[in-house]
Chain A
């Protein structure tokens, strides 16, 4: 029996094979893990659609499979001396018997696993998930459930909704990376075919990042401006805030900077914007949704703080903690990963004095935040030590000019250097 790669929903047409759980010649019971595939957003384990012997695997790790292509061929084990197919582990026998009525002839190929494994007339989903699907306009039958027995979870529905929504947009915003925080080995010329070189397929999130980088680089005209901020008062402010918040809610500088940026953007609508190339229009966003670049071994992700200007610093601290943890644990939903109107990358938490980050397409601006270090500054003609922070703004010169960008960056520096200015701006 040939098993074709199913339409797993989410508007995806292809996926990359990451790992097989079985080898050719091995038996597998229905619903046991068969293969991991990586889509744009996640790695999905696809269970075996039937019980049987894996006779042939046609796509191997790193291969891209398209919907409808035959991926694996199952045998019924008839060539095996051990007789009829039995599940090696505890898969309940009735589950297999149950599949029989739908299969007209035992030899008939099962075209799609969803059909084969699914005699239910209705999709397995709780009433609340069913309602969510209606609210988001998602056809549950077209969603690949990630739960046990193919159960469709709320996150599956949200992901499906997100995927469809994105497909309608010219560019997607979900997975973004800027070069500084993610060390990428420089591309070697392919000609140097050294057999000791390791070749790693460009798949999944990494591939998505690469595509987004190219899209951003080839569309936006990117210019970077850098400003120095004497951060003595910012350091003191954070200490006082943390003394007030207590150990559980202690914040980094990021919530304060996010708050300052989100508030200041109200005066710079063209920086909280995107350029709709096709329509030839600048879209000034009503919401101020701040994307935060999060470093992760699996590839950089940009979760989004929605309406960041409306959150208090304490709330921002909590939300950022949730998003950063979620990004690293890969538990964020499409909603958490899409819809930024401006981005902040805090490369300073790792290192590097100044950076020129790449814009998170189709945003207009991205703020780079460096480390806060003790540096000499000149105060009243005397060189004194101080806490110093470098911030950089990379902007799309098609939309805004250097003057606007510099005014934004100077204004931000003022908010960060002077708590009184900060309070006057954000409250």
Chain B
């Protein structure tokens, strides 16, 4: 990179190297574009560095740790027991490094130039990139903004990384936690709370709303509450942190709820109360002539902003803040910018929670479907009636499917082992406009958890094989 404020001309500028940004850069490069990707930190974004990927590594290890003591009961004897958190932390870091390294290789292979620094737009076709040592002026033909999101902060609970932690602190901690208070019962709070509970911490989750995981199906919430209870996690809803006293061994957290104030002693309190799109003033959206809709960037179906040469994707556009949404938006934006008739017209975006147990849902909830279509057909199938689930020892959970009166599938929810993998078939069913019969008549391999999909469709159709339906 040249030194000083020389102006560089760029065909396509991608701002942000997370799942949205790097995917957009790769697709655009495939389409023959010259791409420069600006990233101020590590390529891979929150997802690969401090989000989805490391958290899954930690969650998986915590599961093994939690299940290991039970192995002896089934005849598997282990010599050593216990958890070496330093090694756990190394494993999590290794997973992160391997995947971010892979993304770097992909970008290099595609000929994408990575420009280290922070981008601010100074005009509709111009941006300034402040690097660690120098600044570059970039004149671009088109740009894709993918700056992602950052954790929402809570006043009075400012993160100090010592006793008030953020999610990253919980991911890369190489020392045990005996008592942990988690503020926020969204998916991050549930996932990390459950993971640390499995690693031996006594966890209390505090949520301001009526229930955990607001917006999910009641069945999902019930199974998650049961699962957390099995892990010994305490959940206090309609509550908020009222006070925080630092002590020698950690903190005393005052939790206010309907019945009064509980004082909970803990080593640390983690604040995971959602995420906010990263659209700081310094990004220069005004100068770029990019408009907002609420707290997100206003985009059309092609993810084009008010400035027709600038696109926006990922957590900064309307919709759920999920990496897999950003992946598709990225391809759409890169293709649209390159003149292809692509559009983000998906019917459903699945959501997954790697808590206890896993949960996933897609499309409409039963209630939403009733509001929209009047009469709906619903099926539920319990994990305990599935052979593979019994063998795995994961009989907690259920699969639920919601269809319109004409049997077209419009929604599904799963709580239980491998829910995150099982939901994809139901997502495809919604995208294809498949019916309950389509699922019921498709052969699924035996013995697998996936057999629950045709089974739940048969329940909805009133002719299940492996459960008994009470006749009215």
Asked if A130 and B345 sit within 8 Å, CB to CB, the answer is yes
Chain A: interface secondary structure?
helix
Q: Which residues of B contact A93 (CB under 8 A)?
A: 375, 405
Does any Cβ of B come within 8 Å of A98's Cβ?
Answer: yes
Across the interface, do B431 and A127 meet the contact criterion of CB distance under 8 Å? yes
Say if the beta carbon of B408 comes within 8 Å of chain A: yes
Q: Is A310 an interface residue (CB 8 A)?
A: no
Most interface-central of B343, B345, B408 (chain A CB within 10 A): B345
Report whether A92 and B406 are in contact in the complex, using a CB–CB cutoff of 8 Å: yes
Q: Residue B431 contacts which of A95, A119, A126 (CB distance < 8 angstroms)?
A: A126
A8 to B408, CA, bound (A): 23
Beyond A92-B407, A124-B433, A149-B433, whether A97 also contacts B345 by CB under 8 A is no
**Contact call B342/A131, Cβ cutoff below 8 A:** yes
Partner of B406, one of A95, A122, A125, A131: A95
Q: Which residues of A contact B408 (CB under 8 A)?
A: 124, 149
Interface residues on B, range: 20 to 34
Q: Per-residue CB proximity of B415-438 to A under 8 Å, as 1/0? A: 000000000000000011100000
Produce 1/0 per residue, A117-140, CB < 8 A to B: 001001011110011001101000
Q: How large is the interface on A (under 10, 10 to 19, 20 to 34, 35 or more residues)?
A: 20 to 34
Q: How does the 8 Å CB contact mask read for A92-104 relative to B, with 1 for contact and 0 for none?
A: 1111111011000
What is the minimal beta-carbon distance from B438 to any residue of chain A, in angstroms?
A: 10
Q: A152's closest neighbor in chain B, by CB?
A: B433
Q: Report whether B342 and A127 are in contact in the complex, using a CB–CB cutoff of 8 Å.
A: no
Taking the complex as formed, is A330 at the interface, i.e. its CB lies under 8 A from any CB of chain B?
no
Contact of A98 among B345, B373, B432 (CB under 8 A): B373
Residue of A nearest to B407 (CB): A92
Is A41 in the interface zone, CB < 8 Å from B? no
Q: Is A114 interfacial (CB-CB < 8 Å)? A: no
B444, chain A: closest CB distance, angstroms: 21
Q: Interface centre among A94, A127, A130, A134, by most B CB within 10 Å? A: A94
Residue A250 lies at the interface, judged by CB distance under 8 Å to chain B? no
A215 neighbours in B (Cβ, 8 Å):
none
Indicate if the CB atoms of B374 and A100 lie closer than 8 Å: yes
Within the complex, what minimum Cβ distance (angstroms) separates B336 from chain A? 10
A97 — which chain B residues lie within 8 A by C-beta? 374-375, 405
Give CA–CA (A282, B376) in the complex, Å. Answer: 61
Report A-chain residues with C-beta under 8 Å of the C-beta of B372. Answer: 119
**What chain B residues lie within 8 Å of A127 (beta carbons)?**
345-346, 431-432
In the docked arrangement, what's the CA distance between A30 and B408, Å?
Answer: 16
Interface string of B212-224 (1 = CB under 8 A from A): 0000000000000
- Give complex CA distance A130, B76 in Å: 52
Residues of chain A within 8 A of B374, CB atoms compared: 94, 97-98, 100-101
Give CA–CA (A54, B214) in the complex, Å. 49
The residue in chain A whose Cβ has the minimal distance to the Cβ of B301 is: A134
Which residues of chain A from 128 to 182 have any CB-CB distance to chain B below 8 Å in the complex? 130-131, 134-135, 137, 149, 151
Does any Cβ of A come within 8 Å of B377's Cβ? yes
Mark B57-85 against chain A: 1 for CB-CB distance below 8 A, else 0.
00000000000000000000000000000
Q: Which residues between 363 and 422 of chain B lie within 8 Å of chain A, taking CB atoms?
A: 372-377, 404-408
Q: Tell me, in angstroms, the Cα distance from A168 to B443 when the chains sit together.
A: 47
Can you offer 8 A-B residue contacts whose CB atoms are under 8 A? Answer: A92-B406, A95-B406, A97-B374, A97-B405, A124-B433, A127-B345, A134-B343, A137-B341
* The 10 residue pairs across chains A and B that have the minimum distance between CB atoms: A94-B405, A134-B341, A94-B375, A124-B433, A95-B406, A98-B405, A95-B405, A97-B375, A126-B432, A98-B374
